[in-house]
Chain A
Amino acid sequence: MVRLITHNLLACHVKGCTTNNFPLVFQDVQVELQEAEFNPDFIRNMLPRLEWTALVNAAKQVGDTSLPLEQPDMMDDELLQKLHHALMEIHIIEGAMVCQNCRHAYPISNGIPNMLLAEHEIG
């Protein structure tokens, strides 16, 4: 599945595409909501790994505008809940993720993103 938590880790890896290769931009996505168990400790501890701005923008692309533009210093329970929803409960089922730099499109089908490259594209 592609959730925003995974999207925030993925980067384009086409040969020579090393700048502006993150974040990938969603295109023609179908989204499905699926409840997940809320684990505030997981969210709080995991957060430093994420690129906040990329997360806020990606959430907007899939219709979630609940996150503040700037990462707040204090993580209250309400914000952790919002993050949990954005990161763990929005599933991108179909569509693609496109590199802003080289325009390579990584398709998503049945919830599985295809990050395979053709041989000549491998760096």
Chain B
Amino acid sequence: MIVFVTVGSTRFDALIEAAISEPVLTTLRDLGYARLILQRGNSIIEPEESNRESCYSIQRYGVDIEIWKFKPSIQAEFEQADLIISHAGSGTILDVLRLGKPLVVVPNPTLLDNHQEELASALQTLGHLKATSIQNLASTIASFEPRDLVPFPPFDGSKFSNLIDEEMGNMKPVKSVTVVDDPQVHEDQYVHAVYDQIASHFSSTRYKVRTTVSSNLYRFNRALQPWPIIAKFLSDLPTGWIGLDSGAGNGKYLPLPADRPGCILTIGLDRSRNLLQIAQHAGSEPGRLITREVVWGDVLGSGWRSGVFDYAISIATIHHLASHGRRKLAVQRLLQAVSPDHGRVLIYVWAIEQDELSKRSIPTSDSDGSSPHTTGEDVFVPWVMSRQHKQDTPVVPTSVAETPVYNRYYHMFANGELKQLAVQAAEEFGLVIGPRGNVYDEGCRGIEIVQEGWERSNYYVELRRWVS
């Protein structure tokens, strides 16, 4: 029999160390597990030389062990394994439970607030998995009875993909930053890598909110309802239209419009594969798995037939691009993706002007505060994976109890900057700016600014293409 141990892409040295320790290996061996496949992610294994190779094998206490940094097809590993031992990342948990495989999870005590622990214990209470700690891993495996587990319902999307976004938790004041690297290198480090790291944290944050926050707090959360302008934009589209959500994140807009589901089709594009795995089933309900169309790609790419979409939305995405030129190109990609004849585009970006519900405070770069913002601000928004405040049982500090802080890069837009960006992008794309009128020659191409404004700490602009 095969046991698969994974910590996803996280660093969880203690679990990796425990998985190949004598008590765990001898227990596994006695139960008939001859092979252990281990994905260490970013965990460090002693001796340090072991970490240089992406994959190597050892044998210990009668168990053949394969150690990988990242296993190419993790789904296949889940499928072939007879037992899975994992960190309590929600993505992993979902994948394993959906396959109906026996799962033992060990929440990472250094990541805590503790969302992982809450998720794990909630699912354990429901009987879907077994949660344990590093110290009790061997004894849990020894006493574990997979037959006693309750089969996981086909997919309870509501638990994981409720429409709450990241703003709910762990925000700290933003700080000014100057982009000194190549913009793409900067984005790789401060946008793409960060989202992949915190993707599972997103979904466990949502889970936590869903299960523990009172309904009163719900009403305060500005992110709970789809934003009215976005919801209306999608709701107004004719049946049969196909669109692109460029930077779809966890896919919260893919199920819309709520009043006419399935009347339009929105395809979600994102740079974070981890977020796409959540987006892939956005809006699913218990017993009703809905699969969304998602594509792993870059908003600066153009892997579509030109003009094939009827509409495109770009919500909270363009502000992650680290230069004016790249933000402009992103707008041009949207214009290029939609029909020259009737294509509609809706863009949202973070505004410097934040509302009172926001937990962010925005620095002003000018010390006297006299000059108004005209070009926006480059900032870092820290995402904190805070560690547990109290620990019930004193544990031997097996790994350094750091509090990881991930800095996400944003360009916060100044008043008027988004419209200016859209106009410039459209003009350079060869489009006339303004409503379709009679003054133009036949075949002239243009774009109308249908609406623009500020909503809940964001600037937005809606554009419509036309041909005269």
Which B residues are CB-close (under 8 A) to A113? 295-296
Interface residue count on the A side (C-beta < 8 Å): 38
Binary interface encoding of chain B residues 301-321 relative to chain A, with 1 for a CB under 8 A from any of its CBs, else 0: 111110011100000000000
Instruction: Tell yes or no: B75 within 8 A of A by CB.
Output: yes
B residues 261-281 touching A (CB-CB < 8 Å)? 262-265, 267, 269, 271, 273, 276-277, 280
Give how many B residues have a beta carbon under 8 Å from the other chain's beta carbons. 37
Partner of A11, one of B262, B297, B305: B305
CB within 8 Å of A: which B100-133 residues: none
Q: Is B451 an interface residue (CB 8 A)?
A: no
Query: Would you call B242 an interface residue if the criterion is a C-beta within 8 Å of the partner chain's C-beta atoms?
Result: yes
Q: Residue B227 at the A interface, CB < 8 A?
A: no
Complex Cα spacing A77 to B119, Å: 46
Which of A45, A111, A122, A123 is the one whose CB lies under 8 Å from B291? A111
- Cα–Cα distance between A9 and B306 once the two chains are bound (Å): 9
Output the nearest chain A residue to B281 by Cβ-Cβ distance: A1
Interface assignment of A114: CB less than 8 Å from any CB of chain B: yes
Give the residues in chain A near B265, CB-CB below 8 Å.
5, 42, 46
CB nearest to A91 among chain B residues: B291
Contact partner, B301, options A37, A51, A111, A115, Cβ 8 Å = A115
Q: Which of B239, B267, B294, B295 contacts A42 (CB 8 A)?
A: B239
Indicate if the CB atoms of B184 and A37 lie closer than 8 Å: no
Bound: A2/B308 CA distance, A: 17
The answer to whether B302 touches A9 (Cβ under 8 A) is: no
The reply to whether B301 and A41 form a contact with Cβ atoms under 8 Å apart is: no
Among A5, A36, A114, A116, residue most surrounded by chain B Cβ atoms (within 10 Å)? A116
Contact between chains at A112 and B295 (CB < 8 Å)? yes
Q: 30 A-B pairs, CB-CB below 8 angstroms? A: A1-B280, A1-B294, A5-B242, A5-B293, A9-B304, A9-B305, A9-B309, A10-B295, A10-B305, A11-B303, A13-B302, A41-B239, A42-B262, A42-B263, A42-B264, A42-B265, A49-B242, A106-B303, A110-B277, A111-B280, A112-B277, A112-B294, A112-B296, A113-B296, A114-B297, A115-B269, A115-B295, A117-B298, A117-B301, A119-B184
Supply 17 further A-B pairs (C-beta < 8 A) apart from A6-B293, A11-B303.
A3-B293, A5-B242, A9-B267, A34-B291, A39-B263, A42-B240, A45-B239, A49-B308, A49-B310, A110-B75, A110-B277, A111-B280, A111-B291, A112-B295, A113-B296, A114-B296, A116-B297
Binding site for A on B (CB under 8 A): 73, 75, 184, 238-242, 262-265, 267, 269, 271, 273, 276-277, 280, 289, 291-298, 300-305, 308-310
Minimum-distance CB pairs A-B, first 10:
A45-B240, A115-B297, A115-B303, A46-B240, A13-B303, A114-B296, A13-B302, A6-B293, A39-B262, A11-B305
